[in-house]
């Protein structure tokens, strides 16, 4: 293990050479991005939160819409949560936008509705950690603060052969130290953004374009022919598999039964079709029956089919509707399956389609509603639920 003592030290001349080469490259190649049009701290903040774990091309349309919907910190502080989630729909890590609203409210209460202009106050805000505080401080306020993200760790680990595990939070300080030693005091914001652009486009994780890299002669890892050994990163944890039956249930008006998810945890407060968890064994049995059914494409309804066998899907429908009236739903057909990989788990969903026969005495749960599909665009659905909607629309178009 390399410790900070073992890491190569550059002379002042080498540091100056690195700054000059990096900034010259940035002046020529910098990407023209909407949040680079000016130094408005609010726009910088929004872009930096969106860019966490998310690529630039994905962020651009979200950024424009967000600034339209919430033009000021005050607008964000007062926004309706459903609209907030809709603004973030599909971006992932939805706590980011909830934390932003909390921070906006703090700014209205404590900072005169402005972004604070120093690292200490920035760090006191929800959702702003060491990286984002450094990014805002340097880009919006010209402070020579490090903003160490994955790109920066990749570039510096290759420059200095830093062998510390970048997944370990302890390592961040080593990289921050090296950035402090090298950062341009004249143009700290450009310096940090140049590092991130370089990591994103040239000094990439695989197949780095070393021949066109403005820092190509400075990488110690390259001198040692070990460029792609860096950065050092330990293995990620294995994903957990979860199995569900997904339920598309329509009433006579053509509305669908939807549920709002719990206020905490995965995909909090977002909308979903009812999901009933089943164990792997039952899921696989069901999947097998399902495929047999789809191959047949006979007159038989899934209701008949399931009723004769496990009754699992029917039971799930009854559970979702909180009723024991066994003839309340007529299961028309299977819609297909949806698979979705999260960072730490994988969902397997078999989606069934049912029609409600009687609805008068039916009690919905607190978090359930009948929703006209015309209103789907107004609700925030996570990706797996968007995939389910696609299956439903396929069926409607047949």
Member of 11, 38, 55, 225 binding DNA (CB under 7 A): 55
Note if 361 is an active site residue. no
Nearer to DNA, 110 or 252 (CB): 110
Nearer to DNA, 129 or 311 (CB): 129
Counting Cα atoms < 13 Å in the Cβ hemisphere of 237 gives 8
Instruction: Identify which range of 150-158, 210-218, 313-321, 390-398 contacts DNA by CB under 7 A.
Output: 150-158
Which residues ranging from 99 to 118 are in contact with DNA (CB under 7 A)? 99
Nearer to DNA, 151 or 250 (CB): 151
Q: 86 CB contacts (<8 Å, ≥6 apart)?
A: 378, 379, 380
We find the least distance from the C-beta atom of residue 357 to DNA, in angstroms, to be: 33
We find the least distance from the C-beta atom of residue 44 to DNA, in angstroms, to be: 13
Distance (Å, whole) CA 147 – CA 320? 47
Number of residues in contact with DNA under rule CB under 7 A: 55
Class of residue 372 by CB neighbours under 10 A (exposed 0-12, middle 13-18, buried 19+): exposed
Member of 74, 315, 383, 389 binding DNA (CB under 7 A): 383
Member of 21, 34, 54, 369 binding DNA (CB under 7 A): 54
Question: Cα–Cα–Cα angle for 174, 175, 180, nearest 5°?
Answer: 100
Asked if 349 interacts with DNA (CB under 7 A), we say: no
Asked if 91 interacts with DNA (CB under 7 A), we say: yes
Counting Cα atoms < 13 Å in the Cβ hemisphere of 22 gives 29
Asked if 332 interacts with DNA (CB under 7 A), we say: no
We find the least distance from the C-beta atom of residue 13 to DNA, in angstroms, to be: 29
Member of 8, 14, 16, 205 binding DNA (CB under 7 A): 205
Nearer to DNA, 167 or 364 (CB): 167
Asked if 231 interacts with DNA (CB under 7 A), we say: yes
Distance (Å, whole) CA 347 – CA 249? 20
We find the least distance from the C-beta atom of residue 54 to DNA, in angstroms, to be: 5
We find the least distance from the C-beta atom of residue 324 to DNA, in angstroms, to be: 32
Which residues ranging from 2 to 31 are in contact with DNA (CB under 7 A)? none
Member of 47, 138, 151, 250 binding DNA (CB under 7 A): 151
Distance (Å, whole) CA 353 – CA 350? 10
Distance (Å, whole) CA 161 – CA 216? 14
Of 17, 29, 37, 48, which one is the catalytic site residue? 48
Distance (Å, whole) CA 229 – CA 157? 9
Member of 5, 28, 236, 298 binding DNA (CB under 7 A): 236
Asked if 188 interacts with DNA (CB under 7 A), we say: no
CA distance to 126, 175, 315, per residue, from 269 (Å): 19, 37, 26
Asked if 60 interacts with DNA (CB under 7 A), we say: no
Distance (Å, whole) CA 265 – CA 345? 13
DSSP-derived secondary structure for 320-362: HTT---TTSEEEEEEEEEEEEE-SSEEEEEEEEEEEES--TTP
Member of 15, 30, 36, 126 binding DNA (CB under 7 A): 126
We find the least distance from the C-beta atom of residue 25 to DNA, in angstroms, to be: 19
Class of residue 373 by CB neighbours under 10 A (exposed 0-12, middle 13-18, buried 19+): middle
Report helix, strand or coil for 249. Answer: strand
Binding mask 243-282 for DNA (x = CB under 7 A): ---------------------xxxxx--------------
Contact 222, 202 (CB under 8 A): no
Member of 63, 70, 131, 273 binding DNA (CB under 7 A): 131
Q: Where are the alpha helices (DSSP H) in the chain?
A: 12-29, 41-51, 56-69, 73-78, 81-88, 95-110, 119-123, 130-141, 150-160, 172-182, 188-201, 220-223, 280-296, 302-308, 312-320, 383-396
Phi, psi of 324 (to 5 degrees): -110, 0
Nearer to DNA, 19 or 387 (CB): 387
Contact 365, 249 (CB under 8 A): no
- Both tokens of residue 386? 């968007």
Instruction: Identify which range of 74-82, 84-92, 184-192, 219-227 contacts DNA by CB under 7 A.
Output: 84-92
Interface ranges with DNA (CB under 7 A): 52-55, 57-58, 90-95, 99, 125-133, 148-151, 153-154, 166, 168-170, 199, 205-207, 231, 233, 235-237, 264-268, 339-344, 382-384
Residues that are catalytic: 48
């Amino acid at each position: 293990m390399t410790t900070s003592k073992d890491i190569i030290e550059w002379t002042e001349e080498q540091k100056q050479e690195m700054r000059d080469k990096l900034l010259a490259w940035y002046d020529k190649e910098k990407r023209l991005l909407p949040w680079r049009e000016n130094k408005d701290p609010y726009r910088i903040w929004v872009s930096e939160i969106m860019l966490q774990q998310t690529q630039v091309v994905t962020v651009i349309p979200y950024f424009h819409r967000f600034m339209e919907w919430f033009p000021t910190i005050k607008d964000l502080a007062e926004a309706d949560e459903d609209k907030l989630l809709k603004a973030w729909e599909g971006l992932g890590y939805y706590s980011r936008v909830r934390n932003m609203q909390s921070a906006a409210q703090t700014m209205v209460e404590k900072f005169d509705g402005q972004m604070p202009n120093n690292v200490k106050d920035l760090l006191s805000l929800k959702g702003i950690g060491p990286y984002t505080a450094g990014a805002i401080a340097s880009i919006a306020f010209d402070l020579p603060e490090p903003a160490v993200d994955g790109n920066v760790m990749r570039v510096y680990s290759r420059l200095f052969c830093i062998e510390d595990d970048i997944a370990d939070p302890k390592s961040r300080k080593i990289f921050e130290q090296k950035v402090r030693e090298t950062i341009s005091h004249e143009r700290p914001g450009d310096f940090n953004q140049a590092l991130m652009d370089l990591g994103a486009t040239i000094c990439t994780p695989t197949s780095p374009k070393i021949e066109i890299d403005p820092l190509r002669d400075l990488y110690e890892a390259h001198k040692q022919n070990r460029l792609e050994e860096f950065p050092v990163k330990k293995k990620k944890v294995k994903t957990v598999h979860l199995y569900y039956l997904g339920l598309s249930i329509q009433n006579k008006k053509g509305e669908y039964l939807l549920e709002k998810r719990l206020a905490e945890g995965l995909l909090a407060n977002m909308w979903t079709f009812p999901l009933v968890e089943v164990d792997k064994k039952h899921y696989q049995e069901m999947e097998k029956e399902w495929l047999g059914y789809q191959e047949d494409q006979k007159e038989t309804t899934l209701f008949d089919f399931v009723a004769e066998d496990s009754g699992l899907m029917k039971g799930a429908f009854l559970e979702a509707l909180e009723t024991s009236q066994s003839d309340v739903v007529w299961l028309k057909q299977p819609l297909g399956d949806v698979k979705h990989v999260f960072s730490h788990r994988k969902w397997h969903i078999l989606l069934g389609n049912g029609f409600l026969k009687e609805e008068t005495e039916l009690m919905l749960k607190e978090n359930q509603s009948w929703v006209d599909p015309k209103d789907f665009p107004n609700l925030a659905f996570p990706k797996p639920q968007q995939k389910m909607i696609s299956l439903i629309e396929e069926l409607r178009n047949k």
